[in-house]
Structure 1
């Protein structure tokens, strides 16, 4: 195992403490568990706060929410949804257009902890990068799902969608779903680093398109303080989005504007120099190193 694989985030832990260096990871897990708890409260405990699944739900008997990709597949399949489904889809699209479409991937999707665990194990075992299909592959899968829906008159992707299968499995019994989850875990661990979410999943591709002009963004505002430790690249599920903001020349925006960014916040967590922060797409200011850099304590004098 390489030294780098063992030391990712250690400087941040030394400066911020363990919780500070895992703040957004912990918040994401709380968010994912919170959404799941809302859905399971009804079937498990009779507390019907939310009825349905991530594909379509009704909150407190009033607020409809519809997966816009399911809605789009329904349209191309020739089925005009009810008004509540239309309203629900518009609400979800508006929310993720503001927050960043792939925020869904890192803060809501139940498959995300599986792929995060696979990436952690991949790094711990110091495995090679593996097979890396083009990132555009997920756009082709998205197009194929819509075409198949149009031809068959069905919501085609939902038949095999691991997100829907896992969510329903948690609610009503896993069955074969365990095999699907295990396959994704092994694929990301042994065959392709960040393979499922980063290269194949059409849901992520769709939400990336929805949030391409979103307001909430991560900024490498203090990039002058970067010490090239590369920890942000090690933990980022879409590491190619970092360089334009972090390594940009004078005059280049420090904002991560690529729609592939999941707004997971892990780059913020693991950076001991506090280079990254959440902001909005209209804030392209840069900070001087002295504004953010705090010298590490000398272990000989601590």
Structure 2
């Protein structure tokens, strides 16, 4: 169990968030239906039951409602995905105070603990890409690479998305965003969400390892920038390392582990998603999570 502690935690959080969105949004949509029924009846025992259903669903919907672009936690705390918000600003849209507060909360949290932690623990697309990478290992396709992209390509996609948002006056990437499409699709019907999931899976499996998240996704790029100076890092002790390279093989962003077997220190690359897989597979105990400025290791 200890060897998969971070993996289990990630799956629990990812699936839990999706389920909360499903139940929360369903409750919001269904409240109106029960309110209409309540208003059409006279107040009696049956009506009291209907009113109880309304109150129950309101409590359920207050846990988490919305989607991964904008959501409310406990019905009061707004959360706004920064890149989606930035696109709307560049497009000339006027934003409510709640949206700005949501951006502040998200940037503060991920700026502190690590921007791309979002990619490993929250984003549902990670479930798809991890599945594709697992099959790659099982099929012996680790070296399969049908497309040559540079890691900085995702930052180009980020800038292009902002430019198109400015030109056309809409959130350009939000029109095709597979992350929000997947989270909305679970509630309102898959549609494009299912197609985007299939495309990403095939792309990562057959074309380029960790292709979408590692080379294309501008959301991951934006969270990487947000977490540039975060305090949670992966720490490496070179005197414990036997240079087996298991950590590099399992890592979705292997370039961030360039210090492994060479020197002690912390992984400071923005691309690190802090998934913990390198720590889990390291039998030498050469890798650990570390809080900068403190002594805590996990």
* TM-score, length-scaled by structure 1: 0.83
CA contact (8 A) 2:241 2:261 kept: no
1:124 Cα deviation after fit: 1.2
Question: For 1:63 and 1:144, how far apart are their aligned partners in 2?
Answer: 31
Unaligned runs of 5+ residues in structure 2 are: 28-56
Question: For 1:227 and 1:111, how far apart are their aligned partners in 2?
Answer: 33
Question: For 1:42 and 1:210, how far apart are their aligned partners in 2?
Answer: 28
1:109 Cα deviation after fit: 0.1
**Structure 1 stretches of at least 4 aligned residues deviating more than 4 Å after TM superposition:** none
Aligned to 1:166: 182
Question: For 2:25 and 2:271, how far apart are their aligned partners in 1?
Answer: 35
1:283 Cα deviation after fit: 5.5
Q: 1:224 to 1:210 in 2, by over 3 A?
A: same
Structure in which a larger fraction of residues adopt helix: 2
Question: For 2:250 and 2:87, how far apart are their aligned partners in 1?
Answer: 33
Question: For 2:21 and 2:196, how far apart are their aligned partners in 1?
Answer: 21
Aligned to 2:107: 93
| Structure with more relative contact order (C-alpha pairs < 8 Å, separation 6 or more) | 1
Question: For 2:156 and 2:85, how far apart are their aligned partners in 1?
Answer: 19
1:178 Cα deviation after fit: 1.6
Which deviates further from its counterpart, 104-113 or 41-50?
41-50
Question: For 1:79 and 1:179, how far apart are their aligned partners in 2?
Answer: 29
Aligned to 2:245: 230
CA contact (8 A) 1:132 1:193 kept: no
| 1:261-272 alignment, distance < 5 Å | 261-272=272-283
2:254 matches 1:239: yes
| 1:1-302 alignment, distance < 5 Å | 19-44=1-26, 46=57, 47-48=60-61, 49-127=63-141, 128-130=143-145, 131-220=147-236, 222-244=237-259, 246-249=260-263, 254-282=265-293
- Counting matched residue pairs gives 263
Structure 1 or 2, whichever has the larger Rg, is 2
SS at match of 1:58: strand
Question: For 1:282 and 1:143, how far apart are their aligned partners in 2?
Answer: 34
Question: For 1:233 and 1:248, how far apart are their aligned partners in 2?
Answer: 13
SS at match of 1:21: helix
- What root-mean-square deviation, in Å, do the aligned CA atoms of Structure 1 and Structure 2 show? 1.7
Question: For 1:129 and 1:200, how far apart are their aligned partners in 2?
Answer: 18
1:284 Cα deviation after fit: 9.2
1:241 Cα deviation after fit: 0.6
